[in-house]
Chain A
Amino acid sequence: MNWLRTWMLGPEGSAYARQVDNLYVFLVLLSIFFFVLVAGLALGSVVVWRHKKGRKTPHITDHVGLELVWSIVPLIICIGVFFWGLHGWLQYTVAPNEALEITVVAKKWQWAFEYPDGTRTLNEVHVPINKPVRFIMTSEDVLHDFFVPDMRVKADIVPGRYTEVWFNPTVEGLHHATCAEYCGKGHSDMSAKVYVDTPEKYAKWVAEGGDEWKTMSPQEYGLYLYQSKGCETCHTLDGSRLAQGGPTWKGVFGKMEKAGDGKEYKVDENYIRESILNPGAKVVAGYDNIMPTFQGLLREREIRALINFIKLQK
């Protein structure tokens, strides 16, 4: 049955996921049974008792026994399924005390994660394997929903209050988190990478951050940051302009841009750095001041890499 489970539900990232999947598979089998019953009776009747002119039909108005059976049997099954679902859900609602706590701040359209030690990341989060992790989440604007399909958990994120999800990951590697509550233009691009690391890898990551940049070319690494940090939600690389977006990066480096204050500025390293850390300072005329600050969300290395990447977009 494992292949069926994986085929229907995708990879499982935790023991809890297996529990959910067991109920799911049971319900699939139950549904197939009842569907075959209904379809068989309906289509069988059509075939067996197809129309013949003048044939009389029996006048059967009810049958108490039968009606009790098809009321009570489904009721018992339903109550059983209710308790099975409740059993799993109770586990989903209560995180263990020793869980690693990560704060999540969601906003259009990015995920910011903050670790207890103050480490902050954007659109990616590293967690150690076989250790429960609890996400305490809030939103800065509209509703969002943190959904990790491999872990079979999700929870809405509501401005003005905290909601939480937790899981105990058992499968190393990359899992996806995604926004499951509609939040506008960038809703479907609002995703985060959830890396489940071995304890050694995790310790190393906490100490130095990721090492993906070491093996990538400046163009590759820049593109990786452009996609993973959410730049692509607003800035294009092909010269086009997105609605409610910012200036394209194509050919922008070295250009003279007119800001909202009427002065012209050269787009150089310092201008880009300022635009990342303090985006409201010199907004190009004709664009809205809507970019969030990335202060504290990008490492120095990453800012430098993005500047290099913009230089490469000729």
Chain B
Amino acid sequence: MSLASATHHDASVNYLNEDKGIWSWMTTIDHKRIGIMYLVSVLIAFLLGGVFAMLIRLALLNPKHTVFGTVIMSAETYNKVFTLHGAIMVFLFIIPSIPAALGNFVLPLMLGAKDVAFPRLNLFSYYLYVTGAIMALAAIVGGGIDTGWTFYTPYSTSTQGAVGMMTMAVFVLGFSSIFTGVNFIATVHKLRAPGMGWFNMPLFVWGMYATAVIQVLATPVLSITLVLLLLERVMKIGIFDAAIGGDPVLFQHFFWFYSHPAVYIMILPGMACISEIIPTFCRKTIFGYRSIAFSSVAIALIGFLVWGHHMFVSGQSQLATVLFSFLTFLVAIPSGIKVFNWLATMWRGNISLETPMVYALNFLLLFAIGGLTGIFLGALSTDVHLTDTYFVVAHFHYVMMGGTVIAFLGAIHYWWPKMTGRMYNETWGRIGAVLVFIGFNTTFMTQFLMGSRGMPRRYYNYLDQFQQLHAFSTYGSWILGLGLVINAVGLIVSLFNGIKAGPNPWGGTTLEWQTQSPPIKHNFHDQPVLDRLPYDYRRPIETELEVK
């Protein structure tokens, strides 16, 4: 067993300190280092997008947009800020967050592999991400964009600003995403440890695999669409602009053909993390392994057939609208199945509430709300009233932030000891997680009410009747921000004074816990053998976990 053999080696050598110097990082093809570089990068993007979010909420605190008598921002600035918030959060943060950062680090370890299938492609993918990020920053500095992250035509083909630079940034980021997807698919097919069949893989791997399939199939459509948008803007080729024979609704079809599956690029990894965290902290085998695995695949496939539900009032074909509504209800089912499977896993477990598990509970409650409010928007008559209002804003924040980001935060805490070799402070971790929960609900629950009462989204000015709700939502954003800052500080401080983590601090069953923390450069000293199925708790596990 590799745990035993690890003791024969010098445990102080690991992937972080085996090679030294900045050059060794910049040229690394170690999936763990690339994962860490991604993690730092996406967290910077999260910070930037988060600052924009706080500014948006601050500007909406009162109808005059003032704090202490000073106007926070003008309507033009507001439009740019919400566009950048959306674009940065979607393209620079959430899409690469779990797959590229945590997936890169964990996936090969879970498979018992030395690295991903194409380590150099992996590094190239990271540099494409950095290039895209720099281009996006250049777009922000060079005039900004005010199109909304959706780039709807003909507004996006006629407005001023750095739309061309931003769309090309997204184009480049798309290739980064595709390469990661290709890499993961090949890795899962070819590099599983001996004896690890498809149904012995951790569910995180299933989630990553389903995500990768969508990344590879859907992202090219967005890339092509954005190239067409740029051509339309520069050369007036007449594809999307009605004035020269194009069709603005066509752009929406293209855009959502990617961007709805992209919702699953975002949420499937979140679900994948939760499927790891819950069995570990319940010390109980996962309930319904196969249905969780198959529902990931089902979501990935049906997710391609529901893009039109973003367009019920857009002027698309009415028959299409009816079919899209029906298919939307079908895609709800696998997500529901997963939630019930997680609940059944908790049933009769042995549950301790470390920070990752607190986040998993946050996820269950928030994602439930996100999913249930999706029914309001899938149903045709209610969607007509609710679409393009704050109800939609609240709904997708419950799914994207309440689902994916919350799972990401839980997963960072979960794999933190493995990535850094240090334990974070559990008390501050929990306090942060609870504050995030309270702040999140305060911020976004109010927005459901605003939306159902008819407050449209992307509004700089609003009617006085919404003032209290807007203010309440802004107060919530401060609590949310505080919770995130506490978590960030707790993690950073642990790098310096956290107690050293053993190989398996939580008592996890998957292969990444069989090697030392942090792992050596090649992950395992010997080829690990699958001597225990994932989530099998029938035999005791060697663990250092002491519940306080």
Contacts and interface: CB of A to CB of B under 8 A. Distances in A.
Contacts of A205: none
A53 B547 contact: yes
Interface stretch (B19-27, B135-143, B280-288): B280-288
A1 interface: no
Contacts of A81: 329, 375, 378-379
A199 interface: no
Interface in A6-28: 8-10, 19-20, 23-24, 27
Nearest to A79: B329
Contacts of B348: 45, 49, 57-58, 60
A46 interface: yes
Contact of B381 (A42, A89, A155): A89
A97 interface: no
A177 to B, nearest CB: 10
Interface in B103-148: 146, 148
A59 B364 contact: no
Interface in A74-100: 74-75, 78-79, 81-82, 84-89, 91-93
Interface string A284-307: 000000000000000000000000
A189 B321 CA distance: 30
Contacts of A158: 242, 248-249, 314-315
Q: Which of B74, B369, B384 has the most CB of A within 10 A?
A: B384
Interface in B312-331: 313-315, 318, 321-322, 325-326, 329-330
Contacts of B388: 145, 147, 154, 180-181
B453 interface: yes
B468 interface: no
A42 B350 contact: no
B346 A78 contact: no
B375 A43 contact: no
Interface in B271-313: 282-291, 313
B152 interface: yes
Nearest to B155: A142
Contacts of A203: none
Contact of A85 (B242, B325, B372): B325
B544 to A, nearest CB: 13
Interface string B410-452: 0000000000000000000000000000000000000001001
B290 to A, nearest CB: 7
A56 B540 CA distance: 9
Contacts of B369: 31, 35
A79 B385 CA distance: 20
Contact of A24 (B282, B325, B382, B454): B382
Nearest to A162: B315
B290 A185 contact: no
A50 B352 contact: yes
A188 B350 contact: no
B456 A179 contact: yes
B375 A30 contact: yes
B347 interface: yes
Interface string B165-177: 0000000000000
Interface residues of B, number: 89
Nearest to B332: A78
Contact of A145 (B287, B313, B372, B453): B313
A161 interface: yes
Nearest to B291: A67
B361 to A, nearest CB: 6
A154 B384 contact: yes
A207 interface: no
B152 A71 contact: no
Interface string B366-399: 0011001101101111111101110000000000
Nearest to B538: A59
A223 B164 CA distance: 41
A71 to B, nearest CB: 6
B381 A92 contact: yes
B152 A62 contact: no
A8 B283 CA distance: 42
B462 interface: yes
Contacts of B378: 78, 81-82, 85
B228 interface: no
Contact of A74 (B332, B380, B382, B456): B332
A63 B376 CA distance: 30
A45 B376 contact: no
Contacts of B350: 49, 51-52, 55-57
B242 A159 contact: yes
A123 interface: no
Contacts of A87: 381
B384 A180 contact: no
A84 B321 CA distance: 15
B16 interface: no
A274 B514 CA distance: 82
B336 A70 contact: yes
B186 interface: no
Contacts of B379: 23, 27, 81-82, 84-85
Given A20-B385, A45-B343, A178-B456, A185 B75 contact: yes
A280 to B, nearest CB: 19
20 contacts: A34-B372, A39-B364, A42-B343, A46-B346, A49-B347, A49-B349, A59-B538, A71-B333, A78-B332, A82-B378, A85-B379, A86-B322, A89-B321, A141-B154, A145-B313, A147-B454, A178-B456, A185-B75, A187-B79, A188-B459
Q: Which 9 A-B pairs have the closest CB atoms?
A: A160-B242, A149-B454, A88-B381, A85-B379, A89-B380, A51-B352, A188-B459, A57-B284, A78-B329
Interface of A: 8-10, 19-20, 23-24, 27, 30-31, 34-35, 38-39, 41-43, 45-46, 49-53, 55-63, 66-67, 70-71, 74-75, 78-79, 81-82, 84-89, 91-93, 141-143, 145, 147, 149-150, 152-156, 158-161, 163, 176, 178-189, 243-244
Given A70-B340, A156-B314, 17 more contacts: A23-B381, A24-B452, A35-B365, A35-B368, A42-B343, A45-B349, A46-B346, A46-B353, A55-B350, A62-B287, A70-B337, A71-B336, A74-B332, A85-B381, A185-B76, A186-B75, A244-B76
Interface of B: 74-76, 79, 146, 148, 152, 154-155, 158-159, 242-243, 247-249, 282-291, 313-315, 318, 321-322, 325-326, 329-330, 332-333, 336-337, 339-341, 343-344, 346-353, 361, 364-365, 368-369, 372-373, 375-376, 378-385, 387-389, 449, 452-454, 456-463, 536-538, 547
